Amino acid sequence: MKHNIHIRGKDQDFVKVMASALRAIRDQEADFATGKLMLGLVAGGPTNELAELREVTEMARAMSDHASLNALLSENVTNTRTRARYGHVVAAVAADPTVQSEDEAAIFTHKILSALHVLQVDLGPDGRDTRSEIDSLAAAFPGQGNAVDIFAHLYELAQEYGPRAGQVNVQSLKRALQSRFGLQLGQCSPELVHKDSNEHNPTGISVTTHGSGPTWVAESQTFHNLDFRNL
């Protein structure tokens, strides 16, 4: 997770992120190819750069290989900003000393983008609240996946619900998690209890609140005061 990360080929933080993604793809390529594993980038901004990167990942998932993706990203087909953002990703991948050519960089860029899910979150002053709450997702769904994958599922649902509803019934969300992703909430775990919560007014985990405490942003969809201990 990063407070802010610039999606630029010469940004050292982004180059490091792409190097980590490249190692993961190389080490477990079969699991990424089947969808068993996913990559996640969680950051606070900049909004426009993350949105452009997210668009490129969706395009990559729709294309079978890097050549098809490059054709889709040609002039007069895809807008200039999206093409430029893709170019920054390729440059960051090519910066890895183990990548031998531009063509190899393009091949691995397609594989990385196809597995990458970009999540923008509204971070607090130091980001610790959001990090700890995302980590707590794994405790809320014991033995059912890692926190990044679970957050990605919530994010996917938020994208679908966003155009249709401002709020989502908690029971409907539970059914969607179970039927779509096979996720079933476990019993309350000590890791889910906020230090300032009490028995009658628990803080729990919220995917967006409009008051004090942690705030998560998932596209335009808002889950108000979602408390995993009371679901």
**124: closest CA among 137, 112, 113, 134?**
134
**50: closest CA among 102, 115, 4, 103?**
4
Distances (CA, A) of 184 to 85, 112, 138, 140: 37, 29, 11, 9
CB neighbour list of residue 226: distance below 8 Å, 6 or more residues apart: 170, 173, 204, 205, 206, 207
pLDDT value of position 169: 63
Q: How many angstroms separate the CA atoms of 145 and 38, rounded?
A: 11
Q: What are phi and psi of 40, to 5 degrees?
A: -135, 135
**C-alpha 25 chain-centroid distance:** 16
Q: How many angstroms separate the CA atoms of 188 and 84, rounded?
A: 46
pTM of the complete model: 0.61
- Please say if the pLDDT value at position 149 is more than 60: yes
Place of tokens 């792409």: 18
Q: How many angstroms separate the CA atoms of 81 and 88, rounded?
A: 11
pLDDT value of position 86: 96
Place of tokens 């080929």: 9
Spans of all domains in the chain? 12-120, 128-230
CB 22, CB 108: distance < 8 Å: yes
- Please say if the pLDDT value at position 18 is more than 60: yes
The predicted-structure confidence for 83-128, as pLDDT tens digits, reads as follows 999 999 999 999 999 999 999 999 999 999 999 988 777 665 555 5
pLDDT value of position 81: 93
Confidence of residue 184 (pLDDT cuts 50, 70, 90): confident
- Please say if the pLDDT value at position 155 is more than 80: no
Q: What are phi and psi of 155, to 5 degrees?
A: -65, -40
